[in-house]
Amino acid sequence: MVIIMLGAPASGKGSVAEILSKEFNIPAISSGDIFRKNISEGTELGKKANEYMTKGSLVPDDITVNMIASRLTEDDVKTGLILDGFPRTVKQAEELDRILAEKNRKIDVVVNLETPEEELLERIVTRRVCTNSSCKEVYNVVMKPTKVEGVCDKCGSPVTQRDDDTLEKAKNRLEVYHTQTAPVAEYYKATGALYSTVLSKSVNRMKNEVANDVIEYLKNK
């Protein structure tokens, strides 16, 4: 099974992917985590990616595709996977189709999350992340605060704000998303794989409701 998570930054892709990962027993792969791993390890691809990520810009297609292609060769994705944050451009989507076709695999569903922009900005600037690379639990100082300020509930490691989660960089990331990533939804709509749904507190429809609907959709497909 191959699931793609689409949506603007902080739309809830990772949270929904985590639930789907447990339900179908397949790994959720975040492109952001792959980038940060390469950056922390000082790889050449990581150094190049960091130049763009620190500005809130999209990492060029060739760098991103090479990182993802390498990850898809690992053993844990043989039975299925969930891609969170990739593809982010139509070219990346085309490259992913090529990579999957070479492995005789196809995309089962592309989940496109829709959230009001003002809500996205609020989520980004109030988001906090566990600094333990083995944990990476995500919190929110408004919606999901830690029990002890600045300390992860799960592992006790420090919790911090990502460098790119400032208001200025968040606005830039959303602008980049609308111009470069939103067209990916149209690409998948044309293939019949797109499943668009709202995830927003304004309509009391959050990660659990969305994930349950996706699970039922896949089971009845």
Residue 55: phi and psi, rounded to 5, are -95, -5
Alpha helix (H) ranges present in the chain? 13-24, 31-41, 44-53, 61-71, 90-102, 117-125, 167-176, 182-191, 207-220
Q: Which of 159, 154, 163, 165 is nearest to 126 (CA)?
A: 165
Annotated catalytic residues are 13, 88, 127, 162, 173
**What is the spatial distance between Cα 213 and Cα 129, in angstroms, rounded to a whole number?**
27
Question: How far apart, in Å, do the first and last CA atoms of the chain sit?
Answer: 12
Tokens of 153: 């509930």
Q: State which amino acid sits at residue 54.
A: T
Q: What order of strands is seen across the sheet that includes strand 138-140?
A: 138-140, 127-130, 159-160
**What is the spatial distance between Cα 212 and Cα 131, in angstroms, rounded to a whole number?**
29
